[in-house]
Amino acid sequence: MITILICTYNRCESLRETLVSILNLETNPKIKYEVLVMDNNSTDKTKEVVGNFSEKFEVPLRYILETRQGKSWALNTGIKEAKGDIIAFTDDDVIVDKAWLSEIHKAFVEHKCDGLGGKVWPRWEITPPAWLDKKLWGPLALIDHSDKAFYMTDKDLEFVGANCVYKKELFEKFGGYQTGLGPSGERLFRGEDTEVYQRFLAKQCKLLYSPDVVVEHCINKERINKKYFFQWYFDQAHSILHMKGDTSFSKVLFGIFDKCFSWCVSVIKGDPIIQMHHEIKLHYYLGQLQWKWQNLFKEKNAKK
């Protein structure tokens, strides 16, 4: 059995579209599945939206409220509550392909894998700006590794929560999502998907990339601006230091000065794409700097 797990927070309108796409899945009757919606303290009409779909689904549709704020808390509770031995994760602003579940089932049967991830294509609300090239797809949770299936061996070629699938037993053996990582309310803190993927990879789990397992990620206009990207990379610095440990002040300060200089050069050359790459890296180093200052004051206060 497969559990489709969706964690949601105050996105009842986009969640409705996600549920419609799941409702329209074309599956083999032999494929048994359920849909589990984890509500992480939404204040909108999320519960009502899910309730309105309950009679439309021919498979179980369950709603559970997780009051501990943070997506990782909701994910871990959802994993415990899942009745499937395979858990297919997606998000509340995703449109799944009609063959999504069938391709997941097919991949697990044919490849005997422990987990898999697939393509995440953009569904733009507005035309993306000139500076937004494919190298900047990360903050938008977009993935297109290849048109051919392959087993993952590179820790940097990761899966994203919008379209990843794992056997439930992996979480039982190796633990769930780190609750110190991941979005929490309006905070853009990330890293929960990366940490789980890298941990499972380190445990020699067979993780497959399947280009036939496809979803579309709805990218609203609020995300297609520089402010969103700057904040995302600023918060990403916190996530990475949380996972990998501290770094030196000298490296951070050198990175800040280096990116300031490189940005000035790119402005003179008039290349908007290169400018953006230097700007986001600058915000990444500024995020590291804030992390180090916060930890420094925590250490001083702890000694008092």
CA 62, CA 252: separation in Å to the nearest integer?
46
Q: Which amino acid, 118?
A: G
- Residue 278 binned pLDDT confidence (cut-offs 50, 70, 90): confident
Beta bridge partners of 37: 6, 63
- Read off the pLDDT of residues 94-145 as tens digits, 9 standing for 90 and up: 999 999 999 999 999 999 999 999 999 999 999 999 899 888 888 898 999 9
**The pair of three-digit structure tokens given for residue 243, joined into one six-digit string:** 């996972």
Question: Nearest Cα to 34, choosing from 63, 72, 12?
Answer: 63
Between 58 and 256, the more confident residue is 58
Question: Between β-strands 33-39 and 2-8, what pairing exists: parallel, antiparallel or unpaired?
Answer: parallel
Please check the confidence at residue 4 and state whether its pLDDT lies above 90. yes
Give the model's pLDDT for residue 189. Answer: 64
Give the model's pLDDT for residue 33. Answer: 97
Give the model's pLDDT for residue 246. Answer: 65
Asked whether 120 and 143 are in contact (CB, 8 A), the reply is yes
Task: Look at the block and give the residue holding tokens 């501990």.
Answer: 68
CA 249, CA 78: separation in Å to the nearest integer?
39
Q: How far is CA 147 from CA 33, 46, 96, 204, in A?
A: 27, 36, 18, 24
pTM, rounded to two decimals: 0.85
